[in-house]
Each structure stands twice: as C-alpha cells, then as structure tokens.
Amino acid sequence: MDGTLIRMYERKMKNYESETLLPRVNISNYRQESKPFAFWGPRAIPDTELVFIHAGAFALELEGETVRAKENELLVIFPGERHTLQSLEESGIISCIHCDLPEPEGRVLARIRTAADPELAEGFRRCAEASLHPAPLRDELLQAILSEILIRIRSLGTLVETNPPSARVQEMVRYIQEHLEEPVTRSTLARKFHASPQHINYLFKTELGTSPTRLLHSERAKKAFLLIQNERISVKEAAFRTGFCDPYHFSKVFKKVYGFPPGLIGRFFTPQ
C-alpha cells in the first residue's frame, strides 16, 4: 500500500457508486511490507478497504475510537471514514483490497475479525494476481474472488461488531444524499422526520459515529470528487454543484475529508 492516497489511486481509481449491486474490486495489493512505525493518513477514502495483517501489529485511529489488530486479523475501513492506519512495530506485512460493496453487504461487516481461515490470505493473493489479467476477464475474476472472500469473512469469529443503522437513520442518510445541493442541517432533518435536533444528533452519533453535518460534508466531497474527475469541471463549479456558496470553504471541507485539495484531482485521477 502506497504512502499517500494520491499514489495509491493514481490510474487505478474507479467510480464510487453508492448503489453498486455487485461487489467490485478497485485496487488489490498483496503482502506489502511496511516501514518501521509507518502510518497512512489522516485520510478518508471513497470505498471500503479490507486490510489483512500477515505480520506485525497495527492501530486504526478513528474519531473517538482506536482499534488494534495483530497477525492473522482483518480490519475493515468503511467509506468516508477519516482515519489513520499505523504500524505499531518495526516491521509489518499487510494485504489490502479496496472495493465497492452493495449497501447491505458493507454495513454488516464487522470492524475487525480474527482470520483463522488460511484460505482468506490465499484469497488476497489470488485477488492481487487476478488484477494483472487483461479486461474483461479481470473484472469477472476479481468479482468472483472478492465474493468468496466476503463469504469467508462472514464466517469468521467476530471481535468487534458493527450493527447496521436503523431504517429511520438510513432514510435520513438517503435524504441527505438526495439533497446535497440544499442547506440540510440537523434542524432540517428534525422537521422532516419529526424529532428534536438534539435527538437527530444522538441518532447519528450512536448509529453512524458521526454528525449530520459531517455526513453531509463527506457526501458532498464524494460527489465533487467524481464531478471533477469525470467531467473535468473546475473546483469553483464543483463547489456550486454540491451546495457550497464559497469555493474556499468547499476546498477546506474537501481537504478535511480526503487529505488533499480538490485541485489535485485533475492531475492524478483519470476520467472513468
């Protein structure tokens, strides 16, 4: 896994689609050796990352949460989460798969699982190998291998469970996603869903681990990323098309979500 988000995604990043019907591999790296006490982040990525630890120990730093994992354990990093992954020892070896998952699939994965199944590590190896095949065979192979990996992950012993959000909170999330160009606030959600603003904050914090504003910013940044990448529009236009009145404020929000300014997208990410 490369040291920065930009190098990791250069020429490889595919569109993130929130309504993906089948699991899809974006990037696969096998047995990458980390430098002593190396770290990646803080950053947020637009897809799900599966991290298999072959050797060493690692800490996943999230807002208000630290998850530690060791050899033969698997970490799950969810889309849009601002995080830092750090090696806790002088050496470590990990394999990573960046993928788009169907909404139900992604939400039921646990944060960390013990990877007792020896075939799981082999699946990561086969996934990286399949990524070298020419298209369209490559995409079909990757999809099949990832589906097998997900089946094996679900059968593993769970160390920390992540429960899916309630139907009501999912409806609120969909409302935010469908009204990104509008000034959606917790008061907006309170009126729409007949609850107090304080209760809206409570639901988001307990079920999603974030606030309505942070989720709105994350979704706006995600949409802007794809607009700039694929339509090659300016940062200013992307800001206006995602509900920001001030391009400078948009750039600050985008950098907080992704770890780099939106102006770099055109240089490092090709249209998909």
Domain ranges for the chain, please list them. Answer: 5-160, 167-268
Q: Is residue 105 scored above 80 in pLDDT?
A: no
Q: Which of 135-144, 165-174, 242-251 has the lowest mean pLDDT?
A: 135-144
pLDDT at 159 over 50: no
pLDDT at residue 149, as a whole number? 86
Instruction: Decide: residue 159, CB within 10 A, 0-12 exposed, 13-18 middle, 19+ buried.
Output: middle
User: Do residues 199 and 235 touch, judged by C-beta distance below 8 A?
Assistant: no
Domain 5-160 sits in CATH 3.40.50.300: no
Cβ–Cβ under 8 Å, residues 89 and 19 = no
Contact 255, 218 (CB under 8 A): no
- Rounded distance, CA 78 to CA 46, Å? 8
Highest mean pLDDT among 16-25, 66-75, 146-155 belongs to: 66-75
Neighbours of 79 (CB within 10 A): 18
Assign 270 a pLDDT band (cuts: 50, 70, 90).
low
What is the band of 106 on the pLDDT scale with cuts at 50, 70, 90?
very low
pLDDT digits (tens, 9 = 90+) for 182-233: 999 999 999 999 999 999 999 988 887 788 998 899 889 888 988 998 899 9
pLDDT above 50: residue 267: yes
Most confident of 52-61, 132-141, 198-207, 235-244: 235-244
Instruction: Give CATH for domain 167-268.
Output: 1.10.10.60
The mean predicted confidence, pLDDT, of the chain is 80
Cα 28 → chain centroid: 14
Indicate if the pLDDT at residue 99 is higher than 70. yes
